[in-house]
Chains A and B, each alone.
Chain A
């Protein structure tokens, strides 16, 4: 951000359409990647495995939801159910002796196939009715997972997830699991960054803006909605499987309930619709917020010498979480990604604020 665009002149289309057209951005991304890759060496394992790892996996999941919500403009209230399908598929495949690398692809494919059922709702109705039907499908999936013993292993059951093995190499250390999450997150991010530049991405945006208009210019909205749902379900399924494999180590139906769907939705909304860096911010914000809030509240109570009941302490972070969603929608509907963009645009021309970027 402490750089100027002056003197950066693109002389051909390839340069202009590069992923990061400004050299300073490339250096910054490289630096961030190095920092992320070196994290196990300077971060203690508590931070690594209980903050960084879920953050990366949830970012990947939020990016998948952003594909359907921010790019294709289709509401999805059953995203957690799709993640759950992937998680259960991977665990069952592994328990039946399928290697992890294949199990995780299977998880994605299963989720993509079942997730496309949601697409058929999207093909018939949209807006509110799509939201309600995906919500209903979430309940159906929840019910199916928890009531079919072949999937959940009986009611109230917890299925232990086998260890991750990559090329016959068991990954059990915190650092190893972190790298699995990091690789998946970087893969999804690269995919999403490139989506912007492809015909598929532009077609999705056309469908989002107005599907009739898209049809008029020859974009088959039926086909692209299906592709969007299948792709995002694939990402969801693999993210669910990675989440189970690296973070929870066991799978229960409650991990993918309707509340989790709303949480994923909150990540995308708070981060910003259609914003990639926003998904990072949103996932981090929603995941870290309860812990930070709890610490803040206990600091306050200690500071001012009053005490709160256990129930109050348990529910207050949730109430603030709801208030934050309301606040973001009122004040900055495009979320943290937009706030970041504003700051960046301001700094790019500082101190000559009257210059349009």
Chain B
């Protein structure tokens, strides 16, 4: 086995992993503020892709108009989901909340295919296919751009959490009863975190849509997103970023090493194994808070 090949796939894996962490960041944002594990994040990414395409293709808007419009639409949809579906479930058992997000997942996924159809369609954002060389290593240009955007998104979120609204969100995630008692509107904060995570989902949709086209497979990013979010610690955005890189590298190496042994498709197996191992060995993830209850 060629060491250069391994290095190359690890590097590309890390870049893809950073794009996974875009999906994971959305999950983390919602979990931080309301302890709701959002299993609909993948479907939100998919819906965002379709919404942008609807603006671009059906209204014939240029992409640089369609993407901001898509972000605004998803912001509203995010607030709407929280208002209609999840606010009334506050305080209910976790089974109900998980089932609700699964219901939303099915509804969004099937709903967007009902409206726009299931055939895969391209979302070209003008990244050239020409390979990028880093010394002798060949890098996929789309992945590099995606990774850059993911890091930029992370920096933006960190800066956002230093603003006044961001401090409010941090207070809610720290202890929502205490936040309530000092006069913070917890409902509004939670709604805002859903909106932000819908916006992050839109950005993930643009990047992933340009890589693999917009279709149902975008919703399958959920498994990667959940794995990355749990591995990084469900309430740590920085953790999601690092865990994304880690999972990407492991996946990249696994696809080189394990695929010939197992006859392909080892990526999903690696994801599931990482998820199980994390939960068994370190349920609070790499950087999460330690107060997750053990039995």
| Interface, chain A (partner B; CB < 8 A) | 69, 73, 75, 121-129, 131-133, 135-137, 139-140, 143, 147, 155, 211, 221, 262, 265-266, 269, 273, 309, 311-312, 314-316, 318-319, 321-323, 325-326, 329-330, 333
- Tell whether B102 is near chain A: CB-to-CB under 8 Å: yes
Q: Residue among B114, B115, B283, B294 with the most chain A CB within 10 A?
A: B114
In the complex, A182 Cα to B98 Cα: how many Å?
Answer: 32
Q: Which 4 A-B pairs have the closest CB atoms?
A: A322-B107, A322-B106, A325-B103, A318-B110
Instruction: Chain B residues near A123: list those with CB within 8 A.
Output: 295
Write out, one digit per residue, whether chain B residues 101-123 have a CB within 8 A of any chain A CB (1) or not (0): 01111111111011101110000
- Tell whether B263 is near chain A: CB-to-CB under 8 Å: yes
A322 and B105: CB pair below 8 A? yes
Interface segment, one of B1-9, B57-65, B265-273 = B265-273
Grouping DSSP codes into helix (H, G, I), strand (E, B) and loop, the B interface class, with mixed when no group exceeds half, is: helix
The 24 listed contacts between A and B (C-beta, < 8 Å) are: A121-B280, A124-B280, A125-B295, A129-B279, A129-B283, A136-B272, A136-B275, A136-B276, A139-B268, A143-B268, A147-B262, A147-B265, A265-B102, A311-B117, A312-B115, A315-B111, A315-B114, A316-B110, A318-B114, A325-B106, A326-B104, A329-B99, A329-B100, A333-B92
Instruction: Chain B residues near A318: list those with CB within 8 A.
Output: 106, 109-110, 113-114
- Tell whether B230 is near chain A: CB-to-CB under 8 Å: yes
Residue of A nearest to B94 (CB): A127
Write out, one digit per residue, whether chain B residues 45-63 have a CB within 8 A of any chain A CB (1) or not (0): 0000000000000000000
A322 and B113: CB pair below 8 A? no
Residue of B nearest to A127 (CB): B94
B68 to chain A, nearest CB (A): 27
Which of A75, A262, A321, A322 is the one whose CB lies under 8 Å from B95? A75
A211 and B108: CB pair below 8 A? no
A132 and B275: CB pair below 8 A? yes
Which of B109, B117, B293 is the one whose CB lies under 8 Å from A126? B293
Q: Residue among B98, B265, B268 with the most chain A CB within 10 A?
A: B98
B64 to chain A, nearest CB (A): 29
B128 to chain A, nearest CB (A): 32
Instruction: Chain A residues near B99: list those with CB within 8 A.
Output: 265-266, 269, 325, 329
Instruction: Chain B residues near A315: list those with CB within 8 A.
Output: 110-111, 113-114, 118
Residue of B nearest to A133 (CB): B279
Residue of B nearest to A330 (CB): B88
Q: A133-B276, A140-B272, A311-B117 are in contact. Are A330 and B106 (CB under 8 A)?
A: no
Write out, one digit per residue, whether chain B residues 222-244 have a CB within 8 A of any chain A CB (1) or not (0): 01001100100000000000000
Residue of A nearest to B284 (CB): A129
In the complex, A269 Cα to B95 Cα: how many Å?
Answer: 9
| Interface, chain B (partner A; CB < 8 A) | 37, 85, 88-89, 92, 94-96, 98-100, 102-111, 113-115, 117-119, 223, 226-227, 230, 262-263, 265, 268-269, 271-273, 275-276, 279-280, 283, 292-295
B103 and A75: CB pair below 8 A? no
In the complex, A147 Cα to B268 Cα: how many Å?
Answer: 12
6 more A-B contacts (CB under 8 A) besides A127-B293, A132-B230, A325-B100? A136-B271, A319-B106, A322-B105, A323-B103, A325-B99, A326-B104
B96 and A125: CB pair below 8 A? no
B294 and A262: CB pair below 8 A? no
Q: Residue among A75, A122, A132, A323 with the most chain B CB within 10 A?
A: A132
Instruction: Chain A residues near B272: list those with CB within 8 A.
Output: 136-137, 139-140, 143
In the complex, A312 Cα to B117 Cα: how many Å?
Answer: 7
B269 and A143: CB pair below 8 A? yes
A326 and B265: CB pair below 8 A? no
B102 and A121: CB pair below 8 A? no
B271 and A211: CB pair below 8 A? no
In the complex, A261 Cα to B99 Cα: how many Å?
Answer: 12
A69 and B292: CB pair below 8 A? no
Instruction: Chain A residues near B89: list those with CB within 8 A.
Output: 329-330
Instruction: Chain A residues near B110: list those with CB within 8 A.
Output: 315-316, 318-319, 321-322
A322 to chain B, nearest CB (A): 3
A261 to chain B, nearest CB (A): 10
